[in-house]
Amino acid sequence: MDENILKNLANIQKRIHDACIKAGRNPDEVKLLLATKTVSPQRIEIALHAGYTLIAENKIQELKEKFDGLKDVPHTNHFIGHLQTNKIKDVLKYNVACIQSLDRLDLAEKLHLRLQAVNKTMEVLIQVNTSNEESKFGLNPAQVLAFVQQVAVFKTLKIKGLMTIGLFSNETEKVRICFQLLKNIQQQIIALNIPQVQMHELSMGMSNDLEAAIEEGATIIRVGTAVFGQRFYPDSFYWNENKT
């Protein structure tokens, strides 16, 4: 399987390129983030050495376990899972550059207080539940504008854009509606001109639907399976654990 990682990466690169050309976009506008849940440090390293250095975990536990194995290979960590407030110290300790899954005011506030105490800042994306599925984390679309305004008050949190998982479906056109909704919310926020709030990033699109996401304006696509192969755990294990 490992020998396929490089081939798979080249394949994804080509899919991104082709989708950008089709959409009249510059391929440099789209960053490829590797979703590395369940993938061993040894296999992640293959991608890092090939120059694919933006990676993300869903669980603090996995971030922790892989930290030593990856610390000598330059890379950037994002966090894309449900973040519990009792794990805030860890997310800071393990060099996460951006939390893509900010979706609760109490989390934002506790993050801010912790960051303030250690004199740091953190990039964040706001996670939106665009598919209206109970099982998914993320804010209800109707709550996002007010939420962004509330979070903007916390000066340590650098809002960079929005993230969504989209509908879990093989019907691309249904998933596309989720991506269009995220873009639409982004435009509404931009129109509010909130001081300190940037809205450049739209993190959306995964192995099966990255083309549609790019056509709808994604700047970060998050790919796991198409690079590292099928995972043993179902995604529900990562997407709705301890949903509160």
* Residues in contact with ligand PLP by the rule CB under 6 A: 35, 37, 58, 80, 165, 206-207, 222-226, 238
Q: How far apart are CA 49 and CA 51, in angstroms?
A: 5
From the CB of 166, what's the least distance to ligand PLP, in Å? 9
Which single residue is written with the structure tokens 């506030």?
109
Q: Which is nearer to ligand PLP, 48 or 163 (CB)?
A: 163
Write the CA distances from 8 to 3, 220, 221, integer angstroms: 9, 18, 15
Task: CB nearer to ligand PLP: give 76 or 188.
Answer: 76
Residue 215 near residue 171 (C-beta atoms within 8 A): no
Q: Of 18 and 190, which CB lies nearer to ligand PLP in the complex structure?
A: 18
CB of residue 72 to ligand PLP, shortest distance in Å: 25
Angle made by CA atoms 86, 168, 178, in degrees to the nearest 5? 90
CB of 229 to ligand PLP, least distance (A): 9
Least distance to ligand PLP, CB of residue 208, Å:
6
**Sign of the alpha-carbon dihedral angle for 59, 62, 68, 74:** negative
The Cα–Cα gap between 158 and 145 comes to 16
Closer CB to ligand PLP, 83 or 185, in the complex: 83
Contact 144, 194 (CB under 8 A): no
Q: Which is nearer to ligand PLP, 10 or 113 (CB)?
A: 10
Pick the closer one to ligand PLP by CB: 70 or 210.
Answer: 210
Neighbours of 192 (CB within 10 A): 12
In the complex, least distance from residue 118 CB atom to ligand PLP, rounded to whole angstroms: 26
10 Å CB burial of residue 179 (0-12, 13-18, 19+) is buried
Shortest distance (Å) from residue 55 CB to ligand PLP: 11
Which of 124, 131, 206 has its CA nearest to residue 161? Answer: 124
Distance of CA 195 to the CA centre of its chain: 23
Rounded to a whole number of angstroms, the minimum distance from the CB of residue 37 to ligand PLP is 6
- The residue whose Cβ lies closest to ligand PLP is 224
Q: In this complex, which beta carbon is closest to ligand PLP, that of residue 58 or of residue 186?
A: 58
